[in-house]
Each structure stands twice: as structure tokens, then as C-alpha cells.
Structure 1
Amino acid sequence: MMRQNARECFGTHFEGQHLSLSDLKEKPNIQNHDYLYKNNIPAYPESVEFHVQKVSHVTGEQGLEGIFLNSGFRQPSEMVASDQHHFLWWALSVTPDDRSSADERFLASLFPHRSAAQLRNQPPVLEHFTTSKAFQKKSSYGNFCFTFSLKELLWHYGKQFCYDDQSPVMHVYETVLYPKEIQYTVVVHPHYVKIYDRCPRLPKYGDGVCGYNGGAMWWRCQSPSEAYENKLEVNIFARSVSVSPNHREEYYVWDHVCVAFHMEPGWVLHVDRNKLLKNVNACEISQPCLLRAPETPLSLNEAEHVLANLKASMGWGLECGGWR
């Protein structure tokens, strides 16, 4: 189903499913998605498994002020007034350590029995390919990035919105295909909210796109770049992998995972202000800029000054690592 999201971007939605790249290619009559069907993409690491413990929420200057005013996260008033589902959106935040571990898993999947010398002599591979927005510090959604462990957020959400100390439920919500992007959405909600029961539960294990287990979201990334300027070369005899420049840059779809927390009108996911201050950083805006009016993009220097002034106004002593 083709529809427009809250930021006026059109995408094709597949509800209750996380469809792989190959699954999407087999779907008939998907229009305006030419990148999906390109067949000249150079070889790259496919279906790389990341184990990601952290998620991030990015907002603009007014959103930043609202989060500290409310001591937590809530839906913007204009979104609450709409008839859409009320979500608090978070993206997976892939760390350098996450990428290193994924590199090791990818190489082990190709060559399970490498010698110690082969292990030492193999340079990292993924750093040449993980260039999409899923791996960048920049964001299209604002200049201020809050980063938390997903496990901690689920704990706060369960304590505040779930009855009888129940843990929240996680479901496979949908796949959204944009012209250059595949978004996999996981929805988090209390047990008593039944509107997502048509969606399958998010798996702990399996061969799907993503799941949650042991405090981490595992994600099998199928296309880690928006534009492939390198190609992967596998030497099965030397049991090694190398990277070489491609003759031209090839644009393609890229994929990522979002976690959407169900929020009723008036709900605020409260987090201690001390933690909010510790876990927020300024970041650059990437294109396309998807800030909602009246928010405006700032330079990184401007955003850092805004954040420094906010911390100073709240009596945050950086030399003490906390409140003065």
C-alpha cells in the first residue's frame, strides 16, 4: 500500500511483515522504485548480522527544549492532533564495536576455519561499505541526538505504562519501501494494547531481518550503503577478503531498523534529567533535511552552543560529571 508518512514522504507499506531485499524484488507491481531492481551493483557484504544495544532519538532545537521541559519524551502536539498512530521513534545506533563484531561474524561465515595467521592478516572489511545513513553520526531529523540502551528504555517504558510489572511487547510492525530506502519498523507496546495483535511477535532467534535477544537488537543488514564505490573480492583459496575501487559509483537502496514506542495522547516517557543531559549530543544535519516546521536546521557549531547554554542554565557541571 502506497501512503504518505508524517514527514510527507511517500512509501510502499507492507504491514505485519519484515520483507528481505530479495522478497521485495519478487513483489509484483511496485512502482517508482527503480533503484530496487538495479542489477549492476558491485559485490558487497550482504546479510551482515549486527548486534546493537543502543538506540537514538534525534530532534530539533524546540524538541530539545520540550524534552527537558517535560523531563522525557512525548509526541509533538501536531502529531497528537492527527489521526495517525502515536509513536515515539528511535533508530538503531551502531557503534564502532558493533561494526567490528559484525565484521568478525561476516568473515567467519565465509571462512569458518581460518588459521591464526589468516585472522591476523585480514584487514577490516565493513568500514568500506557501511556508509549509509544507518551508520552516520549526521541525521536528517535534527541537531540533537539522545542515545540510550534499548534495554534501559524498555525498562522505563514498562515501569511507566505496563501493568503488574509486565514487560512491554515487541511486534513486527511493517516494512516501508521508499525510492532509495527500506525501513523495518518494530513496534513496542503494553500487553493491554491490542491493536497490534495482527502483527507477529518479534523473534528472539531465526533467519529473519531482525529480532531482540539478550538486551540487543540483532539485524541482518542487506545493503549497508546508499552508493557503492567499492567492490568486495573473495579469495577462497587464500581464505581472505579484499576491497577494490569500483569503476563507477552505483546508487542503490539501503536498509535500516526503527523502533516505534506506542504512545497514547498525554503520555510522557520520563527519564531523569541527569541522564538526559549525559546522553544528548549535538550532530550535523544531513540531506534531505526532514525537520518539521517551525524547526530550522543549525550548523554543528550553533547546535553545540545551544546545548552548552542549556547545560549551563540547568547548573550542569561538566567538570563534576553531574549537577553542581
Structure 2
Amino acid sequence: MDALPEFQTTSHVGPNGRVVKEYYVKGLHMSLDDVKKKHRNQYTDKDVVQPGGEATNYSTQVPHYPRPVEFRVTTVAHVTVEKGLHGIMGNDGFQIGESGLLWWGLVIGEKEISAAEQRYVEKLFPDRNPEDQEPFLQKFATSPVFKDGSRYGNFKFTFSLADVLLKYSTQFCGGKDPVFRVYKTAVYSQEVMYTLLIHSPDVHDYDVYPELVNNDEAVCAYRDGEIIWRAQAISETHKFKLVENREEKLVRAEQSLNVFYVWDHVTLAFHIPKDETLSIPHEELVEALTSCDENYPPVNGPLMGKSDAEERVQKYKNLENRETSNMEF
């Protein structure tokens, strides 16, 4: 087995004047257990209690929780600040930011959580009686991934992944399927981010990154319009422990003390040529646009309240059939 690579480090000054450090490994989606072998901090330096065990020291241990949990996601969202909102609406589409890539996050709601819960218990107890099992996964799904708000802005554009891929394929790939690659694993204090890179097959700037494979061991995969994410840490703050009753073939969430641990998530990074736009009809942008609360800590500087954001959204929705490039707010 190849030795695990060492993390590289980069840093930048955040919107609040704080230095944000990123520890990253390129071309690999490193499992959380492997991340902890190479990068230890106050959050990663904890061990998860095995099934049936009890945490005796909450400064070094995390109560047993469901992992991995397989989510199958068909919806994605791009979140931005007010300046980005006006740019997207004025350009009728999305252009690249400073990173040179267009970033999207996964949208996971109650339907996806319920389906993931069923898969989790089915794998644990294949011959169980599904009617006896009470819901439990929602109590663990508390990381920013599962919240309506965002740390990236107050304005959210939500689309089906299939629709975004079709538009991308048509506009940048000559109708061919785009290429999915394993871009990087990044660690920011309490957050572990896995990034998928998506680009045209005619672009070879990223050939050094391995293509995404669809197997049961991968942290994430793509298949038939779905991102398959095998989440390893779904709670920002652990307030419950998972109890497995093997005699009755049931699991339940039992109240526990608050324990801080890492949480992980998946992002999609689309390569867009400089000065070009992933074009989307204006009426589709308006339909996809919603306001959202600020999640702490904000990544893109101080954000406005949701009520103010909703006012801006409603102005676009009320003026759906008019030109927006010269609108004043």
C-alpha cells in the first residue's frame, strides 16, 4: 500500500482580518481516518467510540455515531453575496471567481436524509422489520451541510445536478460528457472538504488529477445524475450517541454531552474558461433564486440579515420579465 501523502499548507486573510489556514492534499479524497494520521488538531485529535462502547473522556473521545452514511444527491446550489447576485443576474449566468473555478455545494433535505437512514439500517440489519425502526438520523445531521443557511452568502441558486451538467456539456463540452476528477482534500480547523473537479474533455490542464471512480470504497462518486457521498462526520456538535440493539435489530439516538468534532462535505468545482459564462435563461435564474440565513462564521465577510436579502430577491422576482442589468437597489 502506498504511503499516505503529507498535507501542504496555504493561508489567506479572511474577511474579518483573520488568517485562514488550509491544509490540503491534491488528487486524493483521503478518508477521515487517514486525515487524522497526517493532520491532528483539537478536533481531529479525538477517537470515535466503537459500537457498544462508552466515552469516558469527552476531550479525547467522540460518542459512537452513524458512519459512513451514504447520501445520494441530485440537487446542487451556488451561494453568493449581494455583489455576486447582481453579477449573475446581469450576466444571465455564472462566471468564475478568483479561484478560476465555479463552486457548487450539495443540497440535502429530509428526503435524502430519510433515504440514507434506510440504507444505513438495511446494511446493519438486512433482515430487520422496517416498521419497527424509529427515525434517528436527523438528530445527527447537524453540520452546516444540512442547514438552510450558508456561510458563503445570503443568495442561493438551486438547480438539479442533471440540468447544470446538461448546460455545461452543451456550452463547454460540445455535447460530450464532462470529465469528473478527484481534485483535493482540504482541512480547515473543524471542516474537511472533498472537492470534485469537472471540466471539458477537451481541456487537459487537469490531467494530473485522477479521474473519479465509482466504487464502494470511494468517499464520493458520480453515477446516473447523482453524487454519491459516503459521509464520515455529519454532526458539527455531537449531542447524541448511536445505540445499536442487535437483539431487536434496531438503532436509536440517545442523548449525550456536547462534543465538538470535525464535519465533512463535498463541493463541485466547474472549470469555466476565463471571461466566459455558464449561461442560464433569466427566468430560470429567477425561479432558482432564494434568500438564506447567515451561518457562522461567514466566509465572505459580514452578511446581511435574511429579511434584507429577501427584499432583494423579491425585486428580481417582481421584475422577472424586465431587464435587470441597470436596476438600482
Q: Residue 2 of structure 1 corresponds to which residue in structure 2?
A: 9
Distance 1:211 1:5 in 2: 30
Which residue does 1:140 correspond to in 2?
A: 151
Instruction: Give SS of 1:151's match.
Output: helix
Does 1:49 find its partner at 2:70? yes
Task: Using the TM superposition, give the Cα deviation of residue 142 of structure 1 relative to its aligned residue in structure 2, in angstroms.
Answer: 0.6
2:164 corresponds to which residue? 153
Partner of 2:56: none
Q: Deviations over 1:137-193 (max 9, x none)?
A: 110011111111111111111111113x21110100000011101000000001121
Asked if 1:230 is matched to 2:240, the reply is yes
| Equivalent position of 1:273 in the other structure | 282
| AA matched with 2:43 | Y
State the secondary structure of the residue aligned to 1:34: coil
Query: TM-score, length-normalised on structure 2?
Result: 0.87
- Separation in structure 1 between the aligned mates of residue 193 and residue 72 of structure 2, nearest angstrom: 17
CA contact (8 A) 1:205 1:213 kept: no
**Which residue in 1 is equivalent to 2:55?**
none
TM-align CA RMSD: 1.5
**Equivalent residue for 2:253, pick from 225, 234, 243:** 243
Aligned residue in 1 for 2:114: 100
Deviation per residue, 1:41-85 (Å, 9 max, x gap) = 011101000000011100111211111100000124xx2xxxxx5
- Whether the aligned pair in 2 keeps the contact of 1:73 and 1:270 (CA below 8 Å) is yes
2:228 is matched with which residue?
218
Could you tell me which runs of 5 or more consecutive residues in structure 1 were left unpaired when the two chains were aligned. Answer: 80-84, 317-324
Q: Residue 313 of structure 1: CA displacement?
A: 2.7
Figure out how many residues of one structure are paired with residues of the other and give that number. 298
Q: Distance in 2 between matches of 1:9 and 1:44?
A: 29
1:42–1:286 Cα change, 3 Å: same
Greater share of residues in helix: 1
Cα deviation, residue 6, structure 1: 8.6
TM-score normalised by structure 1 residue count = 0.89
Code of the aligned partner of 1:201 = E
- Are 1:36 and 2:44 an aligned pair? yes
Query: 1:170 & 1:103 partners in 2: Cα distance?
Result: 27
Question: Matched residues in 1 for 2:13 and 2:81: separation?
Answer: 16
Provide the rounded CA distance (Å) in 2 between the counterparts of 1:74 and 1:24.
Answer: 32
1:295-306 equivalence runs, <5 A: 296-306=302-312
Per mean C-alpha deviation after superposition, the further-off stretch among 91-100 and 200-209 is 200-209
Cα-to-partner distance string for 1:122-141 (whole Å, 9 max, x where unaligned)? 11111010000111111001
Q: Is the 8 A contact 2:286 2:316 kept in 1?
A: no
